[in-house]
Structure 1
Amino acid sequence: MSTGTGWVAARVRVVRIFGAEDVRRVVSMPMAIEGMRQAFLDLAAGNFVLPARQVFGDGAVLVMSTYHTPTRTAVVKKISIDLDRDPAIRALLIWTGGEQIVADGTVITTLRTGAVVGLATDLLAPADATRLTLIGTGGQAADQVRAVLAVRPIAETMIAGRNPDRARALAAALTDEFPQVKFISGTNIDRAVAAADIICCATSTSTPLFEADALPERVHVNAIGAFRPTMRELPRSLLASADLVLVDQREAALEESGEIIDAVQSGALSPDSLVELGTALTTHPQPTTGRTVFKSVGLGPQDWAIARLLSQSP
């Protein structure tokens, strides 16, 4: 089996193979964001069959799947997670429909996670936002920045991480990619969030990264790193005081998001106050002068959206 895009003969049908570079070549971030928009509208319309993800080895291995009823297409993704490894997430994706696709699920996971953040940011962040803060320097980090830059006129980005060398290296790499943006690195999170218009959290922490008092009165916060009930990136005080808390899916957030679970169990947040992204896309929330939050734990339709774009490529 080759590592690049190719065709493998089989008795029944042909399989297309997309390596990481192939996925990046075919699917740009703006394309991914628009694909994500349609996928979440379809999710809200009930067009996906979405089984609960299977979890093995105390979260070391996950299997996610979804079926899109109108097109009779399906995606299955197997993920292995090791937080001591870089990248922590490694995955393989299989698409079935008019043809079969096998693709690098690692790059699809970072791309689709960035794209859903771009979609939520476009929906909720101030239209004139120019200052972005990224907390985290792992495998998900760069696509968080790419996604926000695709939807807002960001002029300055602060990258904050525990390891100053990794933060500097990421800032340097993104400077080469986006020379029009000023990138700054550091380790002081409170200083990094104090003047931000948009904040992206992409860490594996089990304790909140900051307190609500450290944030500006008007800010949009994305959080994608905590995917287990024991993990928390956001403080309870932020979720309790935010004008709007957006989630990819209410049921998934209540089962998997440590910060959402904590806030609900403490009584600081009502489950009924959580707004699903697909619903928000149809109701168009009113602009706010306060704080908004988007919490994502990841759903199969996000993988389906990227795989569909791959299936449509020549």
Structure 2
Amino acid sequence: MLLLSKSDIQKFYSLKECMSAVEKAFELFSAGEVEVPLRTQIVKHDQKSSFLCMPAFCEKKEASCVKILNMFPDNIKQNLPSINAQVLNIDANTGVINCIMDGNYVTQLRTGAASGVALKYLANENCQIGALIGTGGQAAAQLEAMLIARKLDEVRVSDINYDRAKDFAAKMNEQLAEYGSKIVAAKDPNEAIEDADVIISVTTSKNPVYDGNKIKAGATICGVGSYQPQMEETPVELLKRSSKIYFDSKSAVLAESGDILIPLKNKEIKEDRFTGELGQVINGSLRGRESEDEIIFFETVGIAAQDLMTAKSIFEKSQASNLGTNW
């Protein structure tokens, strides 16, 4: 069995490659080709921390994996990652676990890739300004995916802690210099989203983090952080203003995301406002953007199909790398 650390994977695998894997994952999932049970989730009494188990299997691609993930948002106060995870890649023909890989990094990659794929299919071509709200463990991959999807002049980053936003912007300017975008810290989310063409929010907030009425016409927004029913980072005003609303998985979002569940419960929106899944846009059964003025919202809670195709592509590429530890 092969053990792959984050540093191992970084040496031979890119976020751009992960975006290709996740794009295929969305397409396969929406075509019913991937078996993905709703993830098992145990939430601690603090209603913040949770333990999750996410299996997936695709007969067509001979792919199988299980991700074990623990989400502890308050870890940031201890300078620890909020996500701790491992992915077990499985030989679909024998059931043998052939690789264990760093699940924290796989999660960062595939979650960032999901937003990147959404922006690839849904955002206007002539985007210039981006906004990123939240600078936690998922933020770097979200930012890079945004820059892969669209060539941006400037990206404004915002965090509940302004000093943290400034530190993150400085670090990302150095790490992502190849993309040629200026990354700056914004004092608050509303400053960040002003005139922004593409926006990603990746927080665990229980309250909307920006004013939905300030979103410009033609913007594309990815809601990434609301993975539990009590979390609501996205304002209902945005949902009301959106021309189209897409999900990674409709069933998963309607089971888990407070961004959608809370306004549904409060009768502020109805299900007829939902357009469909991103995979349906990819496979051509649903239309994506149809005009430059449409406001389009994409909500993702993360599905094991993303882990499945990412893990498969990492393991397959690892076979020629001679990296990792054989156990």
Q: Normalization by structure 1: what TM-score?
A: 0.92
2:138 alignment partner AA: Q
What fraction of aligned residue pairs are identical, expressed as a percent?
Answer: 26
Q: Is the 8 A contact 1:240 1:263 kept in 2?
A: no
Match of 2:301 in 1: 297
Q: Which residue of 2 aligns with 1:270?
A: 270
Choose 291-300 or 163-172, whichever is displaced more.
Answer: 163-172
Q: What whole-Å deviation, never above 9, does each CA across 1:104-132 have from its counterpart, x for those lacking one?
A: 00000010000010000011111010111
Matched, 1:68 2:91: no
CA drift at 1:211: 2.1
The answer to whether the Cα contact below 8 Å between 1:239 and 1:263 also exists between their aligned partners in 2 is: no
Aligned partner of 1:285 among 280, 284, 288: 288
| Partner Cα separation in structure 2 for residue 30 and residue 82 of structure 1 | 28
**Aligned 1:190-201 pairs, distance under 5 A:** 190-201=190-201
User: Counterpart amino acid of 1:285?
Assistant: G
- Counterpart for residue 83 of structure 1: 73
- Deviating above 6 A after TM superposition, structure 1's stretches of 4 or more consecutive aligned residues are none
Superposition deviation, residue 69 in structure 1: 1.4
Cα deviation 1:251-299 (Å, max 9, x = unaligned): 1001100011022223333324421111121234243312111110000
- List aligned pairs for 1:30-41, cutoff 5 A: 30-41=16-27
Displacement, 1:306?
A: 1.1
Aligned residue in 2 for 1:105 = 103
Structure 2 residues without counterparts, runs of 5 or longer: 321-327
Which of 45, 54, 59 is matched with 2:31 structurally? 45
Q: Does the 8 A contact of 1:160 with 1:186 survive in 2?
A: yes
Residue 3 of structure 1: aligned partner: none
Give the Cα–Cα distance (whole angstroms) in 1 for the partners of residues 51 and 259 of structure 2: 22
Root mean square deviation of aligned Cα: 1.4
Q: Which amino acid aligns with 2:246?
A: L
Q: Number of aligned pairs?
A: 300
Q: Greater relative contact order: 1 or 2 (C-alpha under 8 angstroms, separation 6 or more)?
A: 2
Moved more, 138-147 or 177-186: 177-186
Any unmatched runs of 5+ in structure 1? 1-14
